Amino acid sequence: MAAADGLPMEAIVMADIAIVLLAGAVMVKLSRRLHQPPVVAEIATGIMLGPSVLGLLPGDLPARIFPHDALPMLSAIAQVGLALFMFLAGWELDLSRLRGRGRAVGTMAGLAMAVPFVLGLGAAALLFGGHGADGVSGLSFTLYLATAFSITAFPVLARIIRDSRLSHTRVGTMAMACAAIGDVVAWCVLVLVVAIADASGAGQFLSVVAWTVAYGVGMAVIVRPLLHRVVRRVARRGDTASLLILIVSGVFLSSYATSWIGIHAIFGAFAFGLIMPHGQAPELHEHVGFPLEKAAGLLLPVFFVITGLSVDIGALGAGGLLSLALVIAAAVIGKFAGAAIPARLSGMSWREAGAFGALMNTRGLTEIVILDIGRELGLIDAEMFTMMVVMALLTTTMAGPLLRVLRVGPSAPAAGGGPAAVPRDSPDAHLDTVPSGTGLRPLPEGSA
């Protein structure tokens, strides 16, 4: 395949990737000076390279730099990076850590999801007439949008908590626990929403649900024990190359399985991460986790640009700006009302409760992934997609400044009397480089 100027399309795609990586690197450096996580810079880079900013210049630069014929190749590359990220996010989400957290955590996590979900239902009902895509039922639209409103981005939240030195504080530990529970619930709800939206009738919907349940049982009962056994055996032999191939193949095959079922490929990658062993072999993170984080960090910026090409803030108009204000208000009020008020009632100070609300209001990359699913399935129109992406960017950007204003730091004790935060200059505070966009915690060398 060749472009109009005679260059092979493959060469154009490689040049596009170079442009994306260089632009993203510059923005990430700027974001660090502004105390923002890398994902904020990369979402902003994607928007800047699209019609919202670059498109304002003469010559239709987004279409010239990213020609239509190059988009399928770029999308395929982006999906590989997204699958690896979702696998790492699932692996990061160690559900065993939630045992013994108590009824209070479950209640707070439920309210932190339920309140924005209900407000999202109301906002979606108001927006459906103007922004529901053709052929989409009101039920699918409202359920999908309410789920998107209730999201907290667990991986990005982990990065913000670590960078703010809140890992061993009551606010930080509670936010991580609630976000972990919320993430699992949100993905389960989203599976049902996608099944409803994609099914042509009740029979197909029940078939998708049945296959999904069978897939989940098979992953938990058959694949998980087998994977743990194989990982232990290969790790003992020190054959890390074979182990990396095995795990990456498992991620892609699991993604294929969920796509075949009729939900979405990223659910398979996320589920494969959930069943990965935690703490069995230190080499597992060093020889598998770190390389995959690097690969995801290189490929994910392409996903943000593909997303940014569908975001056109200038096309919203006056009516769109009013709808955008409604979206942002519902998202922020829902998360703060559902998280900060219950936190205050549980015994936190207003300052701690405000910080907890700010952390739970972080949406980041998880929200972008969910919005991309809605865009692919045609659940929302282009304007609604733009508004939700802007909301995700703003709510994620808000967390850092709010934490600094509230001055919630590592001096606050962790729930249950946890240890004090480790100072940055301590030899135990090893902070390795995390790939841009993943937001995953850096694992110390030799740690499980």
Model pLDDT, residue 282 = 63
Q: Of 440, 390, 398, which is closest to residue 148 (Cα–Cα)?
A: 390
Instruction: Decide: 263 and 195 in contact? Cβ < 8 Å.
Output: yes
What's the CA gap between 175 and 153, in Å, rounded?
11
Read off the DSSP letter of residue 222: I
CA distance 191 to 50: 30
Question: 446, 438, 445: which is closest to 162 by C-alpha?
Answer: 438
The residue written with tokens 């996010």 in the block is: 89
Q: CB neighbours of 102 closer than 8 A, spacing ≥ 6? A: none
Q: What is the DSSP string of 276-294?
A: S-SSS-HHHIIIIIHHHHH
Q: Whole-model pTM?
A: 0.78
pLDDT in tens, the chain (448 residues): 555 567 888 999 999 999 999 999 999 999 888 888 888 888 899 999 999 999 999 888 999 999 999 999 999 999 999 899 889 888 877 666 656 555 667 888 889 999 999 999 999 999 998 887 777 888 889 999 999 999 888 778 877 887 777 877 888 888 888 887 887 788 888 888 887 777 666 677 788 888 888 999 999 999 999 998 888 887 777 777 888 898 999 999 999 998 888 778 888 898 898 888 876 556 677 788 889 989 988 898 999 999 999 899 988 888 889 999 999 999 999 999 999 999 888 888 889 999 999 999 998 888 888 898 888 888 888 899 999 999 999 999 998 888 888 877 654 444 433 333 333 333 333 333 333 444 444 433 333 3
Q: 441 exposed, middle or buried (CB, 10 Å; 0-12, 13-18, 19+)?
A: middle
For residues 265 and 255, what is the distance between their CA atoms, to the nearest angstrom? 4
Torsion of CA 31, 36, 42, 46, to 10 degrees: -90
The 3-state DSSP class for residue 435 equals coil
> Residue 29 is encoded by which pair of tokens?
């450096």
